[in-house]
């Protein structure tokens, strides 16, 4: 039940409280009230006693500054957009949480938008965040490997910039912007090398949607490493797990029916790795790592709790989000910057020496 | 690299494109351009040929309508705020994804904000979403069991409403608003009954932060059910796992040192259950479910992948988010509405007949 404060309800007029009403209550001019509440380019030019009086009046009236009006005036707001593919995917949740942590420290409000891996929705969101005068956008979803789309995205990003906004990309989006780049290629190579050093020579890969640049980079990194080690990877040994647990489960059953049967599986994210382990254990009755070794990708929080605990490639996800937000805080520079973040092999219990 | 469209860059003036510029290019008045682009109360009152001409001009100039200006005029926007505690917690990610799915279908942009379980930040976000003229807010984080805070929240919600906004709560927030209510009490009672029917009489509970109303409700539901079954629960057998995996792991070691040693543990969310299983298996060398049975709460996506697969209480998380967004789409009603959503017991492999 709402329990109003003792003094406010009677004193508070109906409808949004205006700056003028705050000024009247504090007994100052609107200009003074505005300076006391909003400062002027960050500097306070109102005496402390006056400022206190205005703040008290604003609090009593529950005044909130009119952000759309201010946005019109300043063409910038304290809102930052973060565009991801899917908030229910813990990979994006971890990146978003990293970005939000930094945003919180600096008083920025994050508008998190999910595209459900629909490129059109990504363009739509970018246009709408521009309309909202969001001061910056982090494109945290993976890029789409499509030339026509990339051209339209670049045009939209240019328009955003022309309006004074700032776009920071996570991963390869094919646009000329500040970028935080996770080590997708190097990470996949690490996974392959680890399995090779354990004696594995028959590999399978459970891939994600090829339309995503992150998937292409991971796949490319794994393939190049295999080639440089002289290991054959028949095309049929790369199956698509759709970046979901259930599709990966079905894809694993198909993969293990191929000849020669793989003894090592590189899975291009941990969400799918949960499905791969389930398929091997429950559908195929194979023991991991005794009969098949599995390496995941990302090191999501649940990776250590899988059965067996998953050997995986750790990306610094919270750091990816945080560094992207850092770039927004420092503002755009003349030359676009790139921050490269390393991947790391985390060895747990899903990989062992090859017996075959 | 940005590849501009062939015609747009030369034609496009610097800075934000105004409606006036679109009108000039289309050879119509600003009023006609506005009606063509925005309609008038949803009805189009411009002929199809004129409308097409304006839309073409807007596309060529990459015009985006100025949302803050429109928000000022209409005091409403297509933005809906969703406030959660932590996006990296899959419980909130699942609720947010449900809400975003419905928002997407209706062309609404979701501004997802995380409070990091800080009540002050919840009030701050509510005020800022009001300042942004977000048309509605879903308070999806659990309520805080604090009278002073609840009073201030109610005041802020009233102010939001007075400005024409709409607030929908998920769970018990102590405010008079539309509410989607998960079956926290009934769910916890289900967990207890399941374990009781398996013969367990010595219970332990791994709880979360008591400041949250969801935790209090789950705890209360479990306690009442135990009492009505005539089972004693010594206060020392309720330990705080802080809603995190690591704290729950430490709390479980403390719990299992109590006399009498519990044979059944009710864990008030699945994130903590991962830590509880880890502690029992790796720190204490106890077999689940042979020596100790464990029931979780929420049925997060990874619950089936834990070792052993977790018996848990399923809350329809995506549905919780979707129903809250449905209430926003239908708009506020005179009497606040409440939607109750059931919990369900999902039996997997972490519970078995008590041997002791």
> Which DSSP letter does residue B168 get?
E
CB contact under 8 A, B158 and A4: yes
| Pick from B67, B86, B318: CB nearest A97 | B86
Q: Which of A55, A86, A105, A111 to mutate to test the interface with B (most CBs of B within 10 A)?
A: A111
**Judging by DSSP bridges, how do beta strands B166-170 and B178-182 pair with one another?**
parallel
Cis preceding linkage at B258, omega within 30: no
CATH class of residue range A76-182+318-341: alpha beta
Q: How far apart are CA B99 and CA B77, in angstroms?
A: 17
Q: Looking at residues B214-242, what average pLDDT do you find?
A: 97
Confidence of residue B4 (pLDDT cuts 50, 70, 90): very low
**Judging by DSSP bridges, how do beta strands B264-267 and B203-207 pair with one another?**
parallel
**Judging by DSSP bridges, how do beta strands A338-341 and B312-314 pair with one another?**
unpaired
Q: How far apart are CA B142 and CA B150, in angstroms?
A: 12
More confident residue, A34 or B145: B145
Residues 238-277 of B with CB under 8 A from A: 245, 274, 277
Q: Given this model, what pLDDT does residue A356 score?
A: 61
- Confirm or reject contact between A338 and chain B (CB < 8 A): no
Q: Looking at residues B6-31, what average pLDDT do you find?
A: 63
CB contact under 8 A, B88 and A94: yes
B243, burial (CB in 10 Å: exposed 0-12, middle 13-18, buried 19+): buried
Fold annotation for B184-315: Rossmann fold (3.40.50)
Strand-pair partners of A314: A298, A344
Task: Tell me whether domains A8-65 and A184-315 share a fold.
Answer: no
Strands, DSSP E only, in chain A?
79-84, 109-114, 136-139, 166-170, 178-182, 203-207, 238-240, 264-267, 293-298, 311-314, 338-341, 344-346
Where chain A has pLDDT below 50, the residues are 1-13, 39-45, 68-76
ipTM of the complex: 0.76
> Which DSSP letter does residue B43 get?
B
CB contact under 8 A, B155 and A78: no
On chain B, the residues whose CB falls within 8 A of the CB of A162 are 12, 14-16
Q: Rounded to the nearest 5 degrees, what angle is found at the Cα of B144, between the Cα atoms of B220 and B157?
A: 130
CB contact under 8 A, A162 and B15: yes
Q: Rounded to the nearest 5 degrees, what angle is found at the Cα of A295, between the Cα atoms of A289 and A296?
A: 135
Q: Given this model, what pLDDT does residue A60 score?
A: 78
| Pick from B4, B150, B304: CB nearest A158 | B4
Q: CA gyration radius for chain A?
A: 26
Q: How far apart are CA B147 and CA B169, in angstroms?
A: 17
Give one word for B331, left, alpha or beta, with left for phi > 0 and alpha for psi -120 to 50.
left
Three-state secondary structure string covering A187-208: HHHHHHHHHHHCCCCCEEEEEC
**Judging by DSSP bridges, how do beta strands B312-314 and B344-346 pair with one another?**
antiparallel
Residue A168 three-state SS: strand
**Shortest Cα–Cα distance, B235 to chain A (Å):** 29
- Confirm or reject contact between B30 and chain A (CB < 8 A): no
Alpha-helical regions (H) of A106-202:
119-131, 147-162, 184-197
pLDDT at B208 over 50: yes
CB contact under 8 A, B130 and A64: yes
The residues near A346 (Cβ < 8 Å, ≥ 6 apart) are: A299, A303, A311, A312, A313, A314
CB contact under 8 A, B5 and A71: no
CB contact under 8 A, A93 and B90: yes
Residues 272-331 of A with CB under 8 A from B: 274, 277-278, 301-302, 304-308, 318
Confidence of residue B10 (pLDDT cuts 50, 70, 90): very low
- Confirm or reject contact between B8 and chain A (CB < 8 A): yes
Fold annotation for B78-182+318-341: Rossmann fold (3.40.50)
CB contact under 8 A, A87 and B79: no
- Confirm or reject contact between A72 and chain B (CB < 8 A): yes
Residues 77-96 of A with CB under 8 A from B: 77-79, 86-88, 90, 93-94, 96
Q: CA gyration radius for chain B?
A: 26
A328 close to A134: Cβ distance less than 8 angstroms: no
A210 close to A145: Cβ distance less than 8 angstroms: yes
**Shortest Cα–Cα distance, A299 to chain B (Å):** 14
Average pLDDT of chain B is 86
Residue A118 CA: distances (Å) to CA of A128, A212, B150, B185: 15, 11, 40, 39
On chain B, the residues whose CB falls within 8 A of the CB of A157 are 2
On chain B, the residues whose CB falls within 8 A of the CB of A3 are 150-151, 154
What is the helix, strand, coil percentage profile of chain A, to 5? Answer: 45, 15, 35
B280 close to B252: Cβ distance less than 8 angstroms: yes
| Pick from B14, B114, B154: CB nearest A3 | B154
User: Backbone phi, then psi, for B227, in 5-degree steps?
Assistant: -60, -45
Query: For residue range B314-339, what is the model confidence (pLDDT) as tens digits?
Result: 999 999 999 999 999 998 888 999 99
- CB-defined contacts A:B, below 8 A: 212
A204, burial (CB in 10 Å: exposed 0-12, middle 13-18, buried 19+): buried
On chain B, the residues whose CB falls within 8 A of the CB of A274 are 302, 305
Entry pTM: 0.79
Q: Which of B309, B277, B273, B305 is nearest to B292 (CA)?
A: B277
Residue A347 CA: distances (Å) to CA of A304, A314, B49, B160: 10, 10, 65, 51
What are the residue boundaries of the structural domains of chain A, listed by start? Answer: 8-65, 76-182+318-341, 184-315
Q: Given this model, what pLDDT does residue B295 score?
A: 98
Tokens standing for residue A343:
């991947």
- Confirm or reject contact between B59 and chain A (CB < 8 A): no
Q: Given this model, what pLDDT does residue A74 score?
A: 41
**Shortest Cα–Cα distance, A233 to chain B (Å):** 29
Q: How far apart are CA A292 and CA B120, in angstroms?
A: 50
Q: Which of A217, A215, A224, A214 is nearest to A192 (CA)?
A: A224
- Confirm or reject contact between A128 and chain B (CB < 8 A): yes
On chain B, the residues whose CB falls within 8 A of the CB of A4 are 154-155, 158
CA B145 to chain centroid: 18
| Pick from A111, A131, A151: CB nearest B65 | A131
Q: How far apart are CA A70 and CA A66, in angstroms?
A: 6
> Which DSSP letter does residue A159 get?
H
CB contact under 8 A, B132 and A100: no
Cis preceding linkage at A312, omega within 30: no
On chain A, the residues whose CB falls within 8 A of the CB of B114 are 97, 100, 104, 110
**Shortest Cα–Cα distance, A200 to chain B (Å):** 26
Q: Given this model, what pLDDT does residue A29 score?
A: 74
Fold annotation for B8-65: 434 Repressor (Amino-terminal Domain) (1.10.260)
Q: How far apart are CA A198 and CA A173, in angstroms?
A: 35
pLDDT at B34 over 80: no
More confident residue, B168 or A135: B168
Q: Given this model, what pLDDT does residue B12 score?
A: 45
Q: Looking at residues B334-348, what average pLDDT do you find?
A: 96
On chain A, the residues whose CB falls within 8 A of the CB of B127 are 64
What is the helix, strand, coil percentage profile of chain B, to 5? Answer: 45, 15, 40
**Dihedral sign (CA B138, B141, B145, B151):** negative
Query: For residue range B104-125, what is the model confidence (pLDDT) as tens digits?
Result: 888 888 888 888 888 888 898 8
CB contact under 8 A, A112 and B109: no
pLDDT at B180 over 50: yes
- Confirm or reject contact between A159 and chain B (CB < 8 A): yes
């Amino acid at each position: 039940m709402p329990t109003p404060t003792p003094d406010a309800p009677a004193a508070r007029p109906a409808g949004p409280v205006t700056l003028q009403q705050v000024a009247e209550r504090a007994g100052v001019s609107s200009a003074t009230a505005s300076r006391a509440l909003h400062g002027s380019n960050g500097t306070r030019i109102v005496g402390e006693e006056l400022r206190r009086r205005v703040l008290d009046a604003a609090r009593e009236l529950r005044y909130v500054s009119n952000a759309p009006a201010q946005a019109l005036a300043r063409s910038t707001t304290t809102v930052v957009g973060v565009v991801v593919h899917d908030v229910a995917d813990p990979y994006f949740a971890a990146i978003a949480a990293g970005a939000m942590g930094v945003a919180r420290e600096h008083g920025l409000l994050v508008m998190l938008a999910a595209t459900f891996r629909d490129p059109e929705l990504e363009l739509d969101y970018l246009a709408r965040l521009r309309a909202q005068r969001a001061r910056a956008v982090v494109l945290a979803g993976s890029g789409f490997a499509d030339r026509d789309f990339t051209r339209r995205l670049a045009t939209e990003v240019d328009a955003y910039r022309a309006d004074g906004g700032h776009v920071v990309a996570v991963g390869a989006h094919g646009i000329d912007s500040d970028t935080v780049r996770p080590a997708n290629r190097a990470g996949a190579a690490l996974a392959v090398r680890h399995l090779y050093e354990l004696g594995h020579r028959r590999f399978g890969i459970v891939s994600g949607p090829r339309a995503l640049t992150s998937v292409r980079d991971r796949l490319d990194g794994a393939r190049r490493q295999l080639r440089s080690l002289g290991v054959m990877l028949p095309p049929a040994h790369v199956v698509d797990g759709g970046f979901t647990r259930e599709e990966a489960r079905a894809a694993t059953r198909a993969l293990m029916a191929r000849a020669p049967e793989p003894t090592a599986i590189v899975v291009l994210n941990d969400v799918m790795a949960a499905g791969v382990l389930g398929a091997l254990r429950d559908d195929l009755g194979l023991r991991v790592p005794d009969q098949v070794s599995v390496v995941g990708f990302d090191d999501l929080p649940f990776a250590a709790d899988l059965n067996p605990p998953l050997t995986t490639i750790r990306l610094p996800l919270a750091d990816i989000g945080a560094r992207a937000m850092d770039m927004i805080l420092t503002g755009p520079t003349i030359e676009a910057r790139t921050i490269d973040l390393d991947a790391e092999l985390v060895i747990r219990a899903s990989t062992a020496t090859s017996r075959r």
